[in-house]
Structure 1
Amino acid sequence: MKILQLNFEKGWRGGERQTLYCMRAFRAAGHQVELLCRAGGPLESRAGEEGFVAHGVRNVPAQLAFLARAGRGYDIIHAQTANTVTWAVLTKALHHRPVVFSRRTSFVVEPNEEWKTGAKWRRVDCFVAISEMAAAEPRRLGLHPVIIRSAVEPHEVDRDHVERLVGELGLQGKKVLATSAALIRDKDPLTLIRAVGELARTRGDFVFVHFGAGGDREAESRAEVHALGLQDVYLFAGFRKGIEDFYSVFDVFVMSSQEEALGSSVLDAFLQHVPVVSTDAGGLKESLADGRGVLCATGDWQAMAQGMARCLDDAAFRADCTKRAYDYVRTEHDVTEMGRRYLAQFERLLAAKAG
């Protein structure tokens, strides 16, 4: 098969990593994979570094033009984001190729948008959701998504990279708690900061490192850190390339999201035996079920503080939940298996088209 991946995001987050994982898995299975992406973005750069053909364009008209002109040269067009599936179905009358969409969000469709979103989704030939939570809205609108969960792969840690971070942030001799999330409303950084503040009232043996780009809650988050006197405890590390290396020094990984389709960063923690404390938002409840971590209600900063303390102090609990989490992630979130599940859907579509 010749497969075109679509992802036009500006930055590098979980969806972009999953796009690259899909491309690797499809290529490893013997298929030709190309990418339509934002020119100059990190996804174009990383795909190029790995030898993929990446068609970088600068705007929506250029995306539409490429799909209209070149789309028929592919067997499958796989949209990895909500925006790109729009352009894929709008040009379908010109490229006549099956469109696959991976829904990676759990947002509720606004009532006044249901007709438009539903019409778009119904033109997709294979609708994939990465979790039961991500599947809820399309099901409500009468669709039947296939569940193919996001993946994570074993990572060889760059120790020099880690040591540079430890030295830069002064992490020596401290327990390290961390999150990886943009400073935006959906990730609820204010609840996280308050939880860290509560934990800091009872102990001084840790630092909390917040990895992630800025956003609409950055100013409030920094103000809250100052208001609680956490400047030496709560460290804003910004976006970092190769963050997977840093899990090797984490004692606890924390997520405070209000909305989350899956929360793929917790999978890295699972893979590296790091205990996770998380809100029960969306797909996070699925990931941490059956004792694979500590689940708290969204917005409950006191429960999050208690969960972090338990992960730091209760060795037996920590060992049990990290083993459960590791066994789960290796079974349910394997990159090769994810690729196999997608390819089975692609082959089904092509067989139906040929028939």
Structure 2
Amino acid sequence: MKVLQLNFEKGWRGGERQTLYCMRAFRAAGHDVEVLCRAGAPLEARCKEEGFVTHGVRNVPAQLAYLARAGRHYDIIHAQTANTVTWAVLTKAFHGRPVVFSRRTSFEVEPGDQWKTGAKWRRVDGFVAISEMAAAEPRRLGLQPVIIRSAVEPHAIDHANVDRLVAELGLQGKKVLATSAALIHDKDPLTLIRAVGELARTRRDFVFVHFGAGGDREAQARAEVQALGLQDVYLFAGFRKGVEDFYSIFDVFVMSSIEEALGSSVLDAFLQRVPVVSTDAGGLKESLADGRGVLCPVGDVQALASGMARCLDDAAFRDACTQRAYDYVRSEHDVTEMGRRYLALFERLLAQR
């Protein structure tokens, strides 16, 4: 098969990593795979580094033009984001190819948008949701998505990258707690900062490192750190290439999201046997079920602080939950298996034509 991936995001987050994982899996299985993406974005650079054919364009009209002109040369068009699936179905009259959409969010569709979103989704040939939570809204609108969970790969640690971070942030001799999340409303960084503040009232043997790009809550987050006097405890590390390396020095990984379709960053923690403390938002509740971490109610500062303390201090609990999490991620979130499930869906769609 010849597969075109669509992802036009500006940054590098979980969806972009999953796009690259899909491309690797499809290529490893013997298929041709290319990507239509934003020119100059991290996804384009990463795909070029790995030898993939990339089609970098700068705006929506250029996306539409490429799909209308060249889309018919592919067997499958796989949209990895909500925006790109719009362009894929709008140009379907020109390219005539099966469109597959991977829904990576769990947002409820606004009542006034239901007719429009429902009409778009019904023009998709293969609808995939990455979790039960991501599938809930399309099911409510009468669709039946296939569940194909996001994947994570075993990672070869770049120890030089880790050493540079430790030296830069002064992490020597400290327990390291961390998150990897953009500073946006859905990730609720203010609750996380306040939970770290609660933990810091009883101990100062740790540093909390916040990895991730800025966003609509960045100014408030930085102000909250100042207001709570956490400047030496709560460090903003920004976006870092190779963030997967840093899990090797984490003592606890924390998520404070109020909305999350899956929370793929917790899968890295599972794979590297880092205990996870998380809110029970969306797909995070699925990922951390059955004792694979500490689940807390959304917005509960005290529960997050208590969970972090328990993971730091209770070695038996930490060992048990990380083993369960490791076994789970290796069986349910394997890249090869994810690719196999997508390819099986692609083949079914092509057989129906």
Report deviation, 1:308. Answer: 0.1
Amino acid at match of 2:310: R
- Counterpart CA distance in 2 for 1:80 and 1:169 is 35
State the aligned residue count.
353
Fraction of identical pairs, as percent: 87
Structure 1 runs of 4+ off > 4 angstroms?
none
- Counterpart CA distance in 1 for 2:216 and 2:58 is 24
Q: How does 1:26-65 map to 2 (within 5 A)?
A: 26-65=26-65
**SS across alignment from 2:203:** coil
- Aligned match of 1:102: 102
Report deviation, 1:87. Answer: 0.2
- Counterpart CA distance in 2 for 1:114 and 1:345 is 26
**SS across alignment from 1:154:** coil
Report deviation, 1:75. Answer: 0.2
Amino acid at match of 2:18: Q
Report deviation, 1:118. Answer: 0.2
User: 5+ unaligned residues in a row in structure 1: which ranges?
Assistant: none
Q: How does 1:164-243 map to 2 (within 5 A)?
A: 164-243=164-243
- Counterpart CA distance in 2 for 1:72 and 1:219 is 46
- Counterpart CA distance in 2 for 1:55 and 1:224 is 42
- Counterpart CA distance in 1 for 2:153 and 2:102 is 19
TM-score, normalization by structure 1:
0.99
Instruction: Give CA deviations for 1:18-56 in whole Å, capped at 9, x if unaligned.
Output: 000000000000000000000111100100010000000
**SS across alignment from 1:6:** strand
Report deviation, 1:322. Answer: 0.1
- Counterpart CA distance in 1 for 2:38 and 2:224 is 35
- Counterpart CA distance in 2 for 1:79 and 1:221 is 33
User: 5+ unaligned residues in a row in structure 2: which ranges?
Assistant: none
Report deviation, 1:179. Answer: 0.2
- Counterpart CA distance in 2 for 1:48 and 1:224 is 40
Question: Cα RMSD between the aligned structures?
Answer: 0.3
**SS across alignment from 2:210:** strand
- Counterpart CA distance in 2 for 1:28 and 1:115 is 39
**SS across alignment from 1:172:** coil
- Aligned match of 1:128: 128
- Counterpart CA distance in 1 for 2:211 and 2:300 is 21
**SS across alignment from 2:352:** helix
TM-score, normalization by structure 2:
1.00
- Aligned match of 2:305: 305
- Counterpart CA distance in 1 for 2:143 and 2:332 is 24
- Counterpart CA distance in 2 for 1:66 and 1:303 is 50
- Aligned match of 1:257: 257
- Counterpart CA distance in 2 for 1:232 and 1:42 is 31
- Aligned match of 2:16: 16
